[in-house]
């Protein structure tokens, strides 16, 4: 079972948006809600590369990525809000013998801080960041790397995602996908998902 993190395990979108706007404010970049939606699933270097081209930002994408990750770790310690069903559902899956992993476009330090604050870090055999594989979603790289670390064929993995880009990445990796849209992604097209659920708590019954 491969979990996306933002919007699936934790209600982090407001925090991520605040961090991006705080980071870009000194450069006069407003960073709109539309831009934020445009980059769902992208890694930070991909986002900042696009924003540098768009706004002529001087710092390189990797400096901006490091600064945003540090800010998000700080905010995560103070403002983490679990999604409905967390930590109960991951704990129940672990008790049932499912092997669990996290595959997120967020920086590794942010992922680790988040699962630590949620109290579920010990449940995951693999924690993979899109920054480790280069291309963010909808490319399948982060999910393929997760399957490799679990020593499982992609077809044996089920992905839990909240965005269309995440769904496309899971399907491109040859994995099943359960879509659980969050408030920021409810308008997206999830027609290719194997299941669409309202909350993570609905996952357990379909696995019986």
| Positions marked catalytic | 4, 6
Helix/strand number for the chain, H first, E second: 9, 6
Return d(Cα 104, Cα 129) in angstroms, integer. 5
Burial class (CB in 10 A: 0-12, 13-18, 19+), 196: middle
Angle between helices 13-24 and 61-79 (to 10 degrees): 130
Largest CA distance in the chain: 53
> Distances in Å between the alpha carbon of 156 and those of 35, 98, 136, 146, 178?
34, 11, 21, 12, 14
Closest to 169 in 3D by CA, of 132, 128, 135? 135
């Amino acid at each position: 079972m491969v979990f996306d993190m933002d919007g699936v395990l934790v209600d982090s979108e407001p925090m991520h948006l605040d961090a991006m706007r705080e980071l870009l404010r000194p450069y006069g970049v407003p960073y709109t809600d539309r831009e934020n939606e445009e980059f769902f699933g992208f890694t930070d270097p991909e986002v900042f590369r696009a924003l540098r081209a768009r706004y002529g930002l001087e710092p390189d994408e990797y400096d901006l990525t490091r600064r945003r990750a540090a800010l998000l770790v700080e905010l995560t310690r103070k403002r983490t809000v679990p999604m409905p069903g967390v930590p109960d559902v991951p704990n129940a899956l672990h008790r049932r013998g499912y092997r669990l992993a996290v595959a997120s476009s967020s920086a590794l330090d942010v992922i680790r801080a988040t699962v630590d604050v949620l109290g579920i870090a010990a449940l995951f055999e693999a924690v993979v960041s899109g920054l480790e594989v280069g291309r963010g979603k909808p490319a399948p790289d982060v999910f393929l790397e997760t399957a490799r670390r679990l020593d499982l064929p992609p077809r044996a993995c089920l992905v839990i995602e909240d965005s269309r880009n995440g769904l496309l990445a899971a399907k491109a990796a040859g994995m099943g996908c359960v879509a659980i849209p969050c408030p920021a992604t409810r308008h997206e097209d999830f027609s290719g998902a194997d299941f669409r659920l309202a909350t993570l708590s609905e996952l357990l019954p379909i696995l019986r």
